[in-house]
Copies of this chain bind each other. A is one copy, B any other.
Amino acid sequence: MRIRVEEAIRKLGYSPDPAASALASKVTYNIGLLLPSLTNTVFEDVLEGIYQGSEDTRFFIQIGDTRYSALKEEALIGTFLRQKPAGLIVTGFEQTEKARGMLAGAHCPVVQIMDFGEPPIDMSVGFDHEAAGYAAARHLIECGYRTPGAVGARLDSRSRRRLDGFRKACQEVGLWDEHRMVITPQSSSVGLGRHLLEELLSRDQSVDAVFCNNDDLGIGALMEARRRLISVPEQLGICSFHDMEMTQHMYPALTAIATPRFQIGKMAIDMLLAEIEEPHSVKRRNIDTGFKLVVRDSTRRAG
């Protein structure tokens, strides 16, 4: 009987209507993914992990681009929930009150990614951004740099906390001056990195090290240093953030805080699928992935 039916399916080229299925069963095989940006290389790797973890399952990843706007995010959460997703992955902890309410009341598991600290709405996987910024500062200080600065763009809460951590570590050893923190709401780019280093140097010519809030800025800073014939790492140490593939191939290679973006994506989808399969089966619901300092030539001073 089953065989006969399956033969007919093949012969007629039948395939079920997902809309009818969703209407009748009140659930779909869609997994909603909310990212603040798709044009930010940081999220490419997260995406890669999520795709890899959901390949060959019946689930379909539906991406929403919030453009770093909590309101757009709120609207998208509404749109997604209306479609009765099987699960939801959202970036960070900074949803609007209403969005948090919707997520808390959702009839599906929810994973918050890229951050660690606050208790999650449901589950979370990420790392502590303040600790990461702190680690960057400690590294520069231990390398002997004494006039550290920092540059940052597109200041979402996570970026801000990285800079907070950096500032804190510098203050602890009495090496901080707030003038050496150059930030802008503009979205980050290599060109902006060059510009921000320029601004930093114009504010304080004695700056001997800079923490760049992400790799675009790091590469930009490196190129600007090169243009000005400022030697890296001797005259200027550069520590980048995220460590995308490119940074290790720069010349000199960039020291960076490497963030486990692929792993975060993979763990998030794994947790989500497990929880969809068997509700309440996931035990560790709030995961700190940590980060890693990768020391390369851009901070490796002789002596």
List residues of A whose CB falls within 8 A of some B CB: 15-20, 22-23, 28, 38-39, 41, 44-45, 47-48, 51, 60, 62-63, 65, 78-79, 82-84, 189-191, 193-194, 216, 219-220, 223, 226-227, 245-246, 248-251
Contact = CB atoms under 8 A, between A and B. Distances in A.
B19 A83 contact: yes
A189 B19 contact: no
A249 B19 contact: no
Contact of A19 (B23, B44, B78): B23
Contacts of A84: 19
Given A38-B38, A227-B251, 19 more contacts: A18-B83, A19-B23, A19-B84, A23-B23, A38-B48, A38-B51, A39-B44, A39-B45, A39-B48, A41-B41, A51-B65, A60-B79, A189-B245, A189-B246, A190-B246, A191-B245, A191-B248, A219-B249, A220-B249
Contacts of A216: 246
A28 B65 CA distance: 19
A71 to B, nearest CB: 13
A170 B250 CA distance: 31
Contacts of A65: 51
What are the nearest 8 A-B pairs in CB distance? A19-B22, A39-B44, A190-B249, A19-B23, A190-B246, A226-B251, A19-B19, A63-B63
A246 B227 contact: no
Given A19-B83, A83-B18, A194 B249 contact: yes
Contacts of A20: 19, 23
A17 B79 CA distance: 10
16 contacts: A16-B82, A17-B82, A19-B19, A19-B20, A19-B28, A19-B84, A23-B23, A38-B51, A39-B47, A60-B79, A189-B246, A191-B248, A193-B249, A219-B249, A226-B251, A227-B251
Contacts of A60: 79
Contacts of A190: 245-246, 249
Contacts of A251: 223, 226-227
Given A15-B82, A38-B47, A249 B191 contact: yes
Nearest to A15: B82
Contacts of A16: 82
A219 B246 contact: yes
Contact of A15 (B15, B39, B78): B78
